[in-house]
Structure 1
Amino acid sequence: MPQPILALASDHGGFEMKALLAADLPALGWAALDLGTDGPGSVDYPDFALALARALKEGRAERGLLVCGTGIGISIAANRHAHIRAALVHDGFGARMARQHNDANVLVLGGRTTGPEIARECLRIFLETPFEGGRHARRVAKLGEFGEK
C-alpha cells in the first residue's frame, strides 16, 4: 500500500519549520509533496496557500501543512477555498480537536510562534487522529456550503 501524501508549503517565515517537519514525515508513514518556498527570501504567503489548495483539490495529496510566521495569514488565505478546512493550532489538544471534531485537512503552524517540539507533536497528532464523524459530520458538511460554488 502506498504511503499517504502530505502537501507542504510555507512562506519565508515558515521555511525552516517546514523543512524540519518534512524530515519527520517518513517516520510517521507519510510522503511529502513540497510546494515551496525553497529558501528564506521574502515571498507572498497567499501564493503558497493557493498551491496547496490546488494540490488537495487535484488529489495529489490527502492532507496539507502550511506554515508562515504566525500561521494567521496563510490560514486565512487557505480557508478562502471551499474544500479546505485549515486549522491554526498551537498545541497537541488543538491538533487533535481539529481532526476529531472539524475534519481539518490542513494543519497550520506559526514558524515564529511555535517551538519545534510542539510543532512535531502537533503534526504527529494531526496525522494520526481520525475524524470522529457523528454529530460533527453535519457541522462539517455545512462548511462546504460556504465559499466557492
Structure 2
Amino acid sequence: MKIGLGSDHNAYDMKDSLKEYIQELGHEVVDYGSEDSCTEIDYPGVAFQVANDINETKIDRAILVCGTGIGMAIAAGKVPGIRAALCHDTYSAERAQKSNDAQVLTMGAKVIGIEPAKNVVKVYLDSEFPGGNSARKIQQITDKEQEYLKGATV
C-alpha cells in the first residue's frame, strides 16, 4: 500500500521512526509535514493535505502524528469523505479499519512510545474493512455528511 505519513514538529522523531518501520513492512511511504524537529509547522495544514490526497487516491491510507493525535484527527475528519481514528492501542487500531473503514490513523507522540506505536501501526495496516453490517453504518455517516454539505440541518 501507499501510506501517507505526516507530522508536525512535535512528532517529527516519531514520524521518522515510523517511516523506516512502515517501509520495512513493505509499504511505500509518502512523507508529509515537518522536515525536521526544529521548524515549527501547524498540524491542520498537514492533515488537510493528507486527507485531500486520500480523496484523490494519491495514497491509500495515512498515519498522522502530532503531540496528542487529537488535533490531527479533528483536522483530517473535517475533509469530506475522511474517517480519521485516534488510536493508542492495537484493539482500537484494528476496529478503526474493520468497523469504521478509517483511512487515517492518528497518534500522539507525547502519549505513546515508539514501540507501542509500531504495534498499533502494524495492526492498522494489516487490518482490512470487511463490509457487512459495518458498511451500512459507514453509509449512514456518508449520507449525513452529504446532507450537511448540501446545507441541511439536523
The bucket for the TM-score relative to the shorter chain is over 0.9
Matches for 1:1-149 after TM superposition, within 5 Å: 4-40=1-37, 41-145=39-143, 146=145, 148=149
Aligned with 1:13: secondary structure? helix
Q: Residues 129 and 113 (structure 1 numbering): CA distance in 2 closer, same or farther, change over 3 Å? A: same
Distance, in Å, in 2 between the alignment partners of 1:123 and 1:44 is: 23
Deviates more, 1:67-76 or 1:24-33: 24-33
* Aligned-residue RMSD, C-alpha: 1.2
CA contact (8 A) 2:99 2:134 kept: yes
Q: Is the 8 A contact 1:81 1:148 kept in 2?
A: no
Please identify the structure whose Cα radius of gyration is greater: 2
Between the aligned partners of 2:45 and 2:58, the Cα distance in structure 1 is: 17
Give the TM-score normalised by the residue count of structure 2.
Answer: 0.90
For this pair of structures, how many residues does the alignment match? 146
Separation of aligned partners in 1, 2:78 and 2:58: 19
Unaligned runs of at least 5 residues, structure 2: none
State the alpha-carbon separation in 1 of the partners of residues 120 and 70 from structure 2. Answer: 16
TM-score under structure 1 length normalisation: 0.93
Q: Select the structure that is richer in helix.
A: 2
Aligned with 2:96: secondary structure? helix
